[in-house]
Every structure is written in C-alpha cells, then in structure tokens.
Amino acid sequence: MREQHWVFGYGSLIYKVDFPYLDREVALLRGWSRRFWQGSHDHRGTAESPGRVVTLIQDEDALCRGVAFLVEESVFEHLDHREKNGYERHSTKLHLEHRDETVTGTFYIATSDNPAFLGDAPDSELAKHIAHSQGPSGSNADYLLSLANALRDIGEHDEHVQNLERHLLALKQAP
C-alpha cells in the first residue's frame, strides 16, 4: 500500500483540483487566517506585474475552513511545482468536519520572508491590484471570484475574501 497524506487547500486548491485524490473532506485549520498578501508572478500575474493570491497568516484566534484531500505521496511532486513562488510545505493538525476527526496534514504557506511576499494593504487597494492583474493561469479577478464562490459552496464566511469580492465587483460596475 502506498503512503497516503492529507493536504489542506485554502485557496485555489479548493476549486482547481488538478491532481488525483482518494478522498475529499471539508476541514478546519486552527490558528491561521487566509490573506491576499502573496505575490504571484507565475500564475495570476507576471514578473513585472505580480498578481495577489492567498497565503495563511498566523492568527491565534482564527479558524480557517477549507478542503482536505487524501493523496498518495506521489502527488507532492505536482503540488510542489504548482505551489512554488514562495510557498513551503508545513505539517499541521486538521479537523475533518464530516468525520469529526483530527488528522495530521500538510499545507502550503508563503511566509513574509519570501521574495514574492507583498503584504497587507487596505481592501480597496488590494481589489484594484487584483482587478488589473493577469497571468498565465488567467485573471487575478477570476481567482478571487472563484475562491469566493468555492468558499460559499463549503459554507465558509471569510470576511477578508468577501470584502475583496465586494470591492472588486464595485470596480467592475463603475463607469
């Protein structure tokens, strides 16, 4: 039997599942908040004009809801390539909602000391940045809107993502 691992998705891994998996569960990660603070020059932007994608920021009181996938060890070759540009693997405890079970899992984060980290800004500025960014994987706006929809599909209310979505939609409707 091949070695199996849980991988936690909190961004595009929720809605863009381009890897084989054995099981999928809504999962909770304690102590982390999702933020659009990581630059993307390889997917949702370019080297000259990076887009913004999510990473996790330590936040003792936070609860981040996403999706955990049970995968075979071989999937990490693909995920490590996909999650390059400043992301690193970390091990954590995940709570699988429907099983009411805690498991050890892996998640990818981009910390503030990586060269692509862009950091915090007011939501209105983040939304403008996202609205104007485009990369090999498509528009940065599509990334944000797809993530917002995917979070709604799993019943997650993420204030940061929803605020950015509101700002982005207002920009799109402005004359």
* Backbone phi, psi, residue 61, to 5°: -95, 0
- State whether residue 48 is helix, strand or coil: coil
Q: Which of 25, 48, 77, 83 is catalytic?
A: 83
Q: Is 83 a catalytic residue?
A: yes
Q: Which two tokens stand for residue 72?
A: 């075979």
Query: Both tokens of residue 159?
Result: 């204030």
* Tokens coding 98: 């429907």
Q: How many helices (H) and strands (E) does the chain have?
A: 5, 7
Distances (CA, A) of 22 to 4, 18, 25, 30, 75: 9, 13, 10, 24, 11
Q: Which residues are catalytic?
A: 83
